[in-house]
Amino acid sequence: MRNLRLTFWGLAALVTMLWLLADLSIFRSSGFFAIRSAAVQYSGALAIACMSVAMMLAIRPRWPEHGLGGLDKMYRLHKWLGIAALVTAIAHWLWAKGPKWAVGWGWLERPSRGPQPPASNPVEALFASLRHTAEGLGEWAFYAVVALIAVALIQRIPYRFFYRTHRLLALAYLVLVFHAVILTTFSYWLSPYGLTLAALLACGTGAAILILSRRAGRDRQVPGRIAAIHHYPGVRALETIVDMGRVARPPTRPVRLCRVGPGRRAASLYHRVRLARG
């Protein structure tokens, strides 16, 4: 658990530090709309970073297993990152939409911007021309992400429905990658923050493509046989022993038993737990 917490909070701290260093003028911001602009960028950075790492963990890579303590700990971190992405995405949406509602209701007055000089960089000009498209697509992708993460978190929803719909998060993520690339402040991209964000988006995009093509974890599948199942009603737990025979290279670190709750958790046993050899 200690490594999980360090990884989770370390990611948040890294994104925060790099984002602050990318634009030190943030500390000199004054006025509500200047603070709102910074809050939109920061909350969006946290949300897409959490989603990117969660997407990478979803393909079940081998390299983080040892440090995190096994596949089940990877799934736990995946869940934490999903919840963090949901919370920060909602905050991002509220910062983006809330002031517009307040202006429409007459509670705030939008400051006058004046004419904007045309962008000298052709890439920046292209991004500016796609801004409204990225905003619209990102908003609808946000609604889809909220619904799909809610399906993942609400245990009363049948596992079969969760399993069939959870993959759609990869598609929504790709739309949000486009949203993030276009709407991230252009000057950030050549900073350490921008390069780190680009790496996260690239890795997350690769993982999302693997998920959508149903190739995630394919090289780690091995045949197994359920050797024994024991139900403990007093603690609402299920012990399942899986015999994998003589597997030369087990897909995960071996453990002796697995305990899961009833209902949807039990139905997702093969998807969530580490398997025991022999």
Please tell me the least confidently modeled range out of 31-35, 86-90, 132-136.
31-35
Residue 6 has pLDDT above 50, yes or no: yes
The token pair that represents 117 in the structure block:
């000089």
H-type helices in the chain, by residue range?
2-22, 32-58, 65-68, 71-104, 122-129, 131-153, 159-166, 168-183, 192-212, 264-267, 269-272
Residue 249: its pLDDT value, please? 55
Task: Determine contact, residues 250/275, Cβ cutoff 8 Å.
Answer: yes
The token pair that represents 172 in the structure block:
């929504």
DSSP at 233: T
Question: Looking at the whole model, is its pTM more than 0.85?
Answer: no
Which has the higher per-residue pLDDT, 259 or 191?
A: 191
Task: Determine contact, residues 94/85, Cβ cutoff 8 Å.
Answer: no
Residue 26: its pLDDT value, please? 79
Residue 61's identity, in one-letter code, is P
Residue 65: its pLDDT value, please? 82
Residue 181 has pLDDT above 70, yes or no: yes
Residue 1 has pLDDT above 80, yes or no: no
DSSP symbols for 106-152: TSS-PPP--PPPPPSSHHHHHHHHTHHHHHHHHHHHHHHHHHHHHHH
How confident is the model over 81-99, as a mean pLDDT? 95
Q: Mapping DSSP to helix (H, G, I), strand (E, B) and coil, where does residue 238 land? A: strand
Residue 27: its pLDDT value, please? 76
pLDDT in tens, 52-87: 999 999 998 888 888 888 878 888 999 999 999 999
Band (pLDDT 50/70/90 cuts) for residue 270 is: very low
Burial tier of 248 (Cβ tally within 10 Å: 0-12, 13-18, 19+): exposed
Band (pLDDT 50/70/90 cuts) for residue 51 is: very high
| Helices 71-104 & 2-22 angle (0-180, nearest 10) | 40
Band (pLDDT 50/70/90 cuts) for residue 248 is: low
pLDDT in tens, 101-159: 998 898 888 877 666 777 778 999 999 999 999 999 999 999 999 999 999 988 888 88
- Which residue has 């908003």 as its token pair? 139
Task: Determine contact, residues 8/77, Cβ cutoff 8 Å.
Answer: yes
H-type helices in 184-258, by residue range?
192-212
Residue 97: its pLDDT value, please? 94
The rounded mean pLDDT for the chain is 84
